[in-house]
Amino acid sequence: MKVLVMYDYPPSPGGLATQGDLLYKGLLGMGIDARAVHFESAQEKEWYYRWFEPDVAIGVGYWGHTPQLVLHPQRYGIQPVPWLVADGYIANYQEILNTLPLIMVTSNWVKEMYVRDGIHGDRIEVLPVGCDTDSFIPFEKNDPKILAVREALGISRDQLMILTVGGDAASKGAQEVMQALANIDSKAPDWKYVCKVWPQPRTKIQNLADLQIATDLGIEKKVTYETNTISRNFMPYLVGACDIYAAPSRLEGFGMPQVEAGACGKPVISIKAMGMLDTLIDGETAFLANVAQRIVVNEVIIGGESGFEEKHKLIFEVPRTVDYRANVQDIAKYLLILMKDANLRDKMGKAGRERVVSNFDYRIVAKRFVQIINEKLGIY
């Protein structure tokens, strides 16, 4: 089998790039003849089509990337297999996607979104995102690299570090976490809340809004936003430095940071919805807050990124849930339980590590990918 893996290559620190890169790494480890290429590089993709002649081109992205992941390889007679996430709705490309013999998605919730919006479910297979369990591992509290992270963040050894990681923090539920922390501040042990976000114009505006909320709640001295550019090499140590990973995400098709936290042996607080229902076990590896609110829209404005003219208005026949909000009281309750019980944090962290190693290690995901290609496409 010859596989061309199309993703954000060379990989940036983002989720989709990591998703593709770990599949590529897993395939190579199995001895599969695989090559990697940037999904938007038309010239380089064509070069691979001509001399490498892949049996399948697996493309990592979302439905809006259909031109790059599906139409382009089809133009050269190459079988595309998109491996997709969802962003709340599928607004376009249903006809094209329904011609494919196989589509992969990252969770059962993502599959439900695609089926709801008109994609045939009998050709959709769930393939979870892989995790590098050799890098994301439990660390000793006195590991010099872990201590260095905490010192750089201004966190003492006796403080509890709560962490959220994302392109921005609000989409990962940071505002709900801050509200919960404000509610329990007087009862909780000494803590600090760290939000690691990526430096980009969009997040600067969001960060200011989030920090204003922290100020309004009176906890601004205990909340820090880290906006430095970092590599994936640093991420295991950042996650390893925390005591609790909190991300009751508003929209999450898989939950890679939550899985990476589990691999590091950290208890997780998230939301009882979406991809977390696949990746986390409530009460065992994580505490999942109930959904307090669903953000429903009747119409959206989209443009060229979705295959429409600019400022195209799409009106849904049935209103779509495009965002979730976790119950703040649940988050507060679970935070306080974990903050007061080191043994429980350790127990849940160990359970989380075992689950990730058994189900989401990138080598397991690569093997499952090959099995699906064998079974569904007859390619060996």
Q: How far apart are CA 377 and CA 262, in angstroms?
A: 33
Nearest to 83 by CA among 65, 99, 96, 95: 65
| pLDDT beneath 50: ranges in the chain | none
What is the reported pLDDT for 140? 96
What is the reported pLDDT for 106? 97
Residues 6+ apart with CB under 8 A from 137: 236, 240, 263, 264, 265
Q: Hey, where are the domains in the chain? A: 2-130+361-377, 144-288+327-359, 291-323
C-alpha gyration radius of the chain: 21
What is the reported pLDDT for 242? 98
Beta bridge partners of residue 324, listed in sequence order: 294
Residues 6+ apart with CB under 8 A from 132: 22, 25, 263, 362
What is the reported pLDDT for 270? 98
Into which CATH architecture does domain 2-130+361-377 fall? 3-Layer(aba) Sandwich (3.40)
Whether the domain at 2-130+361-377 and the domain at 144-288+327-359 fall into the same CATH topology: yes
What is the reported pLDDT for 342? 97
Q: What is the largest CA-CA distance in the chain?
A: 66
Which structure tokens are listed for 373?
Answer: 């290609």
Distances (CA, A) of 342 to 147, 190, 361: 18, 13, 27
User: What pTM did the predictor assign?
Assistant: 0.94
Q: What angle do CA 107, 112, 116 make, to 5 degrees?
A: 155
Into which CATH architecture does domain 144-288+327-359 fall? 3-Layer(aba) Sandwich (3.40)
What is the reported pLDDT for 201? 79
Distances (CA, A) of 96 to 64, 65, 192, 298: 12, 12, 48, 24
